[in-house]
Amino acid sequence: MQGIGNDFMVVDAISQPVYLNQGQISQLAHRNFGIGFDQLLMIEAPQHPEADFHFRIFNADGSEAGHCGNGARAVAKYVRQKGLTWKRELRLSTNTATMNTVMEDNGLITINMGKPRLEPEKIPLRFAQQSETYMIDAEGIRYKIGAVSMGNPHCVLQVEDIDKAAVGKVGPILSHHSYFPAQANVGFMQVVESNEIKLRVFERGVGETLACGTGACAAVVAGRLQKILDEKVKVTLPGGSLWIRWAGKGSPVYMTGPAKVVFEGQIDV
């Protein structure tokens, strides 16, 4: 499946036993020798009564992630298409978050992504005090960033021209910076208007992807905190567009976007 180019291998781990180690996941993720995907989504039975389904997220290198907004839309669509539920509104849990999803009449899916975590210790970020922006020195350059957790740690960097942004160079530098003890997804944000941004994201454990749902949410939160964005923002990523809404501190972030099935199959591991 894919959500604006962020592609997933989706596995039903409710109807069948599934055991994959990190090496097997990494091999399956390889685009020449495997299936090829940004993340593996493993759908499991709910772990607590208020959830309809639980799903686990594994990056292309086999490491486990805590949250994935584009993946949540894929899961919501998958379980309906497979007849695992007929509900239009679902509650999905991951290892770090619980989300409410709604299937809209136009086929798009809206997700309550929960409240952003802004405290440095909850991101995690090695700064003593919370701030709207932080200054980080890396390889002789000083970067002004926003930092947010949407279940995964995010670093947001504003750029003048998204097409000229050094995502492949600066992304890994900031992602692995010592200020981010759990590494970070790094978003490069160009503000088009107060209600529209362009975004490219370097994801930890994956590299640059065509789309990142939590990255889009984090970018809007960072922009709102810096008072440069409106409550409702269109986020254009290389793979397509998402619509993000955040009323401000104390409120959850809402994300609306598509999810599509690319193909189905079987594989022996």
Q: Which residues are annotated as a binding site?
A: 6, 39, 59, 69-70, 152, 185, 203-204, 213-214
Out of 29, 212, 222, 233, the active site residue is 212
Q: What is the DSSP letter of 121?
A: G
The answer to whether the beta carbons of residues 152 and 69 sit under 8 Å apart is no
* E-assigned strand segments in 27-172: 39-44, 53-59, 64-65, 89-93, 98-103, 109-112, 134-138, 141-149, 153-158
Integer Cα distance of 235 and 223 in angstroms: 12
CB count in 10 Å sphere of residue 37: 24
Closest CA to 60 of 41, 77, 87: 41
The answer to whether the beta carbons of residues 78 and 229 sit under 8 Å apart is no
Q: How far apart are the first and last CA of the chain?
A: 20
Integer Cα distance of 93 and 76 in angstroms: 11
Q: How many residues are given for the chain? A: 269
Binding site as annotated, residues for substrate? 6, 39, 59, 69-70, 152, 185, 203-204, 213-214
For residues 235, 244, 5, 3, the Cα torsion angle rounded to the nearest 10 degrees is -160
Task: Determine the distance from the C-alpha atom of residue 217 to the mean position of all C-alpha atoms in its chain, rounded to a whole number.
Answer: 8
- Is 217 an annotated catalytic residue? no
Out of 20, 28, 68, 235, the active site residue is 68
Residue in the structure block whose two tokens are 């994801």? 203
- Is 212 an annotated catalytic residue? yes
Closest CA to 258 of 228, 213, 193, 226: 213
The residues assigned a catalytic role are 68, 212
